[in-house]
Amino acid sequence: MAERIENTQGTVHRSLPLGMAAVMFVLLFVASIVANNIMTGGAPFPNPNNPIEQLQSYYTRFPDALRLTSFLQFGAAIPRGIFTATVISRLLFHRIEAAGVYIALFGGLSAAIFLGISSLST
């Protein structure tokens, strides 16, 4: 199920289809938002600047919703990282030598890592 991409020299780059990784990320991330809304009855997620009593109330009323949301968002971080690695691999395969390649690598992996950290800390 690997995608075949040929460059001008005729060599082939085998990689994961980008669409599959992108769709998995979007599905898992949207599922986390929908699950949270369903399980909390549409209660708004608390603002960190709210009084501590409001925050404690939300987190003690909906622990299962928060666990499921965190699990799905952590799961979404994995295809996000895979997508980034695949795109960068393809750009380097085609000998793109711009600084933007490494900026995209930094941004994509940072997004995946911080999404994972955020979901684990929830």
Give me the residue spans of the domains in the chain: 76-122
Residue 40: partners with Cβ closer than 8 Å, 6 or more residues away: 61, 62, 65
The helix/strand/coil state of 105 is helix
Residue position matching structure tokens 């952590």: 74
Residue at 91: amino acid letter: L
* SS3 state of residue 16: coil
The pLDDT of residue 2 is above 80:
no
pTM confidence score: 0.82
For 32-82, write each residue's pLDDT tens digit: 999 999 999 999 888 889 899 998 999 999 999 999 999 999 999 999 999
